[in-house]
């Protein structure tokens, strides 16, 4: 859906909230939706890890605890405010032009990421009118999709891990550094409504945008003093959009109030810093580009190198390291195929120390490995 279509679709102010949960998630979902108002411009889509061999009773169980209309998805439904849509067992779910589509899983059970997949489709289809919520569950499903929601301008909410029966998914999401709001389940709907009350304003012609523009240099100066990086030369439209998001998340009136807040709160400087970076990455992201890189650069480099020659590769802005490791796998595969024994050094840099720590450890959740082609392995 392009920007014009999203604007046309938003005369009713509909915002779609994707809810991801796993073990212990039923209690959290019930608590979240128990007092959700029926007249708010929010629709909810629940993605839970379900046993494909058993019928789901989730819709029936939830309907007893909320005044919202609850239904299991059969495919093709147009998403409407005041409704809760439940994923069926054994299939994935995606959004296309505001409609729900059932999808077949390509991965075996255990490697499936239904929450990530749904969040990513929701982000692409709905842009800033998408929200994701990650509740109780084990593993890391949802963390990659959360990055996509943030990249496309949506809002990311996570259950406070201290209140989760299983804190694996909320903690993994929180560790991305991209979460906007951390709340108990009963607080999430209210916080989402508050956020969208701000963000539904015209982003191009409001007092808020004008106050951000007039305080932009001062805000960049505060970030530079606290974080050590100068964003004054950053793309202006991105700066304005990201600062406006932080003001909306904090429920502040304008940029003057935000400037006072950020001056007294170094943690807010860090959060804005992360909003500006948005480390969106995964193994072999944009696979067609990696294939071009293999054919036009990596293969010729290896082919034209003699045994014991050196190849050096630099990955700038490496984020949490998946791109650097993807390149390492491609080079290793070409060396095997071409029977070359080449010394390879890959340098990876980033201004985000938190992401670099993840990259150095090289430890990723099992669900992230599904993006790696079967023939790309490093011995």
Strands of 293-342 (E only): list them: 310-316
Give the residue carrying structure tokens 């959700």.
36
| 186 catalytic per annotation | no
Active-site residue flag, 180: no
DSSP 298: I
Q: What is the DSSP letter of 297?
A: I
Burial 289-298 (b: 16+ CB within 10 A, else e): ebeeebeeeb
Q: What is residue 89's three-state secondary structure?
A: coil
CA distance 348 to 140: 24
CA separation for the pair 5, 11 (Å, rounded): 11
214: CB partners within 8 A, 6+ apart: 255
Q: Which of 49, 121, 180, 275 is catalytic?
A: 49
From the list 22, 121, 172, 319, the catalytic residue is: 22
Looking at 141, 180, 275, 350, which residue is catalytic?
Answer: 141
49 is catalytic: yes
Q: What is the DSSP letter of 75?
A: S
Q: Give the helix/strand (H/E) hosting 189.
A: helix 185-199
Q: Give which of 157, 138, 160 is closest to 149, Cα–Cα.
A: 157
The Cα 286–Cα 270 span in angstroms is 29
Active site residues: 22, 49, 141
């Amino acid at each position: 859906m392009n920007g014009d279509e999203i604007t046309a679709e938003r005369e009713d102010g509909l915002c779609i909230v994707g809810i991801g949960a796993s073990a212990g998630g039923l209690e959290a979902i019930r608590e979240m939706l128990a007092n959700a108002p029926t007249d708010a411009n929010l629709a909810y889509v629940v993605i839970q890890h379900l046993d494909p061999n058993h019928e789901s009773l989730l819709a029936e169980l939830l309907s007893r605890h909320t005044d919202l209309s609850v239904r299991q998805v059969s495919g093709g439904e147009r998403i409407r405010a005041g409704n809760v849509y439940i994923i069926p067992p054994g299939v994935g779910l995606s959004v296309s032009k505001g409609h729900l589509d059932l999808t077949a899983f390509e991965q075996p059970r255990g490697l499936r990421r239904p929450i990530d997949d749904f969040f990513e489709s929701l982000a692409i289809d709905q842009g800033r009118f998408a929200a994701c919520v990650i509740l109780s569950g084990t593993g890391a499903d949802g963390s990659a999709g959360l990055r996509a929601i943030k990249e496309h301008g949506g809002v990311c909410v996570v259950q406070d891990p201290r209140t989760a029966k299983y804190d694996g998914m909320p903690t993994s999401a929180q560790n991305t550094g991209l979460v906007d709001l951390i709340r108990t389940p009963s607080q999430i709907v209210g916080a989402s409504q508050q956020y969208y009350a701000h963000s539904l304003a015209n982003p191009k012609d409001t007092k808020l945008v004008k106050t951000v523009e007039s305080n932009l240099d001062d805000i960049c100066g505060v970030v530079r003093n606290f974080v050590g990086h100068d964003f004054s030369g950053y793309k202006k439209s991105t700066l304005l959009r990201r600062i406006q998001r932080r003001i909306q998340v904090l429920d502040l009136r304008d940029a003057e109030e935000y400037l006072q807040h950020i001056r007294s709160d170094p943690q807010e400087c860090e959060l804005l810093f992360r909003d500006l970076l948005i480390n969106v990455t995964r193994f072999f992201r944009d696979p067609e580009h990696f294939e071009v890189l293999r054919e036009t650069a990596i293969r010729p480099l290896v082919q034209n190198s003699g045994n014991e020659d050196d190849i050096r590769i630099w990955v700038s802005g490496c984020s949490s390291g998946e791109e650097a490791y993807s390149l390492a796998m491609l080079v290793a595969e070409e060396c095997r195929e071409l029977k070359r024994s080449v010394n390879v050094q890959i340098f990876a840099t980033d201004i985000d120390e938190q992401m670099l720590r993840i990259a150095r450890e090289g430890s990723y959740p099992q669900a992230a490995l599904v993006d790696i082609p079967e023939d790309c392995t490093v011995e």
